[in-house]
Amino acid sequence: MPPLPSSPFTLGDNNVWPFRLDAEDGGGWLLVDAGLDVLEDGVASWDVLVAQARAIGCEIEDVRVVVVTHEHIDHAGFAARWADLGAAVVAMPAALSMLIAGRSAYDAIRERRMQELRAHGCPEDVLDAIVQAQRAHDTHRLAWQGCVPSDLIEAHDGDTFALEGGRTLHLIAAPGHTPGNLVAFVQDAGGTAGDLCSGDTLLPTTIPTPGLHFPAIADVIAEIGHTPGDIRPGTFEEMERWPSLPSFLRSVGRLRALNVRRILPGHGPVVEDPARLFAQFDEHHARRSQRVRAHLELTGADGATAYEVVRGLFPRLPAARLGQALTEVIGHLDVLVEGGDATQTRDEDGIFRTHIAR
């Protein structure tokens, strides 16, 4: 079995995966993910990253390519820093406006998510608890400087990079966790097997949830360059949500067909038994989908809001954890609607209700 590319650079439980590029192509390094930008107890994560790179003989000036798996603050935080150093920052087209807008779009989307949860029936006191829980979560401490548009390079499904030892890194579009999500498959020389840099699409200890995404927000902020505070309240209210779970399930289905030996995730330890993880992912979503469907079948002609479904499925779940549960149920409702098994209507108060197709 070929050795790991090397161990990842780790910032907390975040991984940045380094690979040596083929010397015949000019050598240097390729990184999968940019790293997260945080100052903790006076120590900048950038310094931690640089020290780990040097320890394996990777000078930061020799980093030629940084592949960003997706447009989230903990994966793209240092994208602009790498670009300033001369690296090509590569991401899917659907990720680019977030990479340009950075933290300002991230904050605007967070606000818009709360409106979306309200429109799915979530009461105000629960919304308050969800916001409190988010504040306690550490992402508010993270910085995310936007990139200069001309520094970004569009990735395409099937793009390849030649690595040391005859291995090939393949970029695979895998929308789901975010609209601009990709994964990287590092294929052995002369074989079909390889390691999968999965970003947040497959994780060792949790089943990643879909998200609530509003791609138009990032486009607007990237274009006008304002921070959310400067923008008239309500500007983003009508911006449409991108249904993430249907795409997520299709993407994971595609990855299952690869000959994956190990998964090198965006967070946590290497997964040595990918088949088991794929099976857990499938089981989780099949079970969840079935329960959402069964609950809808019990509701009468009125159908149900996502909040009512969540309360039916998890009556004792604390309010702080309802944000994630709601997001996942909204995802499963999207899957049912997309498959023609349910329909969704919006009442005069702007609340979405889903009805099983009979």
d(CA 315, CA 188): 48
Minimum distance from residue 128 beta carbon to Zn ion (Å) = 26
Tell me 213's DSSP state: B
# residues near Zn ion by CB under 5 A: 3
44, 47, 50, 55: CA torsion to nearest 10: -120
Nearer to Zn ion, 136 or 257 (CB): 136
Least distance in angstroms from the C-beta of 198 to Zn ion = 11
The nearer residue to Zn ion, 15 or 97, going by C-beta atoms, is 15
Nearer to Zn ion, 52 or 201 (CB): 201
Evaluate the CA torsion angle 88, 138, 288, 342 in order and state its sign.
Answer: negative
Alpha-helical (H) ranges within the chain are: 45-55, 73-76, 79-84, 96-101, 103-119, 124-136, 215-224, 244-256, 274-298, 306-313, 322-338
The least CB distance from residue 97 to Zn ion, in Å, is 19
Please tell me whether residue 116 binds Zn ion under the rule CB under 5 A. Answer: no
Closest CA to 32 of 262, 188, 355, 264: 264
CA distance 23 to 106: 38
Q: Which stretch binds Zn ion (CB under 5 A): 71-79, 247-255, 278-286, 304-312?
A: 71-79
Q: From CA 84, how far away is CA 65, in angstroms rounded?
A: 12
Residues 291-350 that bind Zn ion (CB under 5 A): none
Dist. CA 27–CA 20, nearest whole Å: 7
Residue 16 main-chain phi, psi, to 5 deg: -120, 120
Stretch that binds Zn ion, among 108-116, 192-200, 303-311, 348-356 (CB under 5 A): 192-200
CB 185 within 8 A of CB 261: no
Please, which residue, 15 or 305, has the CB nearer to Zn ion? 15
CB of 14 to Zn ion, least distance (A): 7
CB of 68 to Zn ion, least distance (A): 11
Cβ nearer to Zn ion, comparing 74 with 308:
74
In the complex, the smallest distance separating the C-beta of residue 75 from Zn ion, rounded to whole angstroms, is: 5
Residue nearest to Zn ion (CB): 200
Nearer to Zn ion by Cβ, of 45 and 187: the residue is 45
User: Among 73-81, 95-103, 180-188, 314-322, which window interacts with Zn ion (CB under 5 A)?
Assistant: 73-81
Q: Which stretch binds Zn ion (CB under 5 A): 130-138, 207-215, 260-268, 281-289?
A: 260-268
Q: Which residues pair with 345 in a beta bridge?
A: 353
Residues 196-235 that bind Zn ion (CB under 5 A): 200
Nearest CB to Zn ion, comparing residues 121 and 266: 266
Minimal distance, residue 74 CB to Zn ion, in Å: 5
145 CB-contact burial (10 Å; exposed 0-12 / middle 13-18 / buried 19+): middle
Specify whether the CB–CB gap between 78 and 49 falls below 8 A: yes
Q: Which residues pair with 34 in a beta bridge?
A: none
Q: Near Zn ion by CB under 5 A, which window of 131-139, 262-270, 308-316, 330-338? A: 262-270
- Interaction between residue 74 and Zn ion (CB under 5 A): yes
Closest approach, Cβ 104 to Zn ion, in A, equals 19
* Residue 275 Cβ vs Zn ion, minimum distance, rounded to whole Å: 23
Number of continuous H segments (helices) and E segments (strands) in the chain: 11, 15
- AA identity, residue 198: S
Options 70-78, 131-139, 202-210, 342-350: segment touching Zn ion (CB under 5 A): 70-78
- Binding to Zn ion by CB under 5 A, coded x per residue (else -) over 263-292, reads ---x--------------------------
Find all residues with CB under 8 Å of 283, minimum gap 6, and list them.
none
Does the protein bind Zn ion through residue 37 (CB under 5 A)?
A: no
- In the complex, the residues that contact Zn ion under the rule CB under 5 A are 74, 200, 266
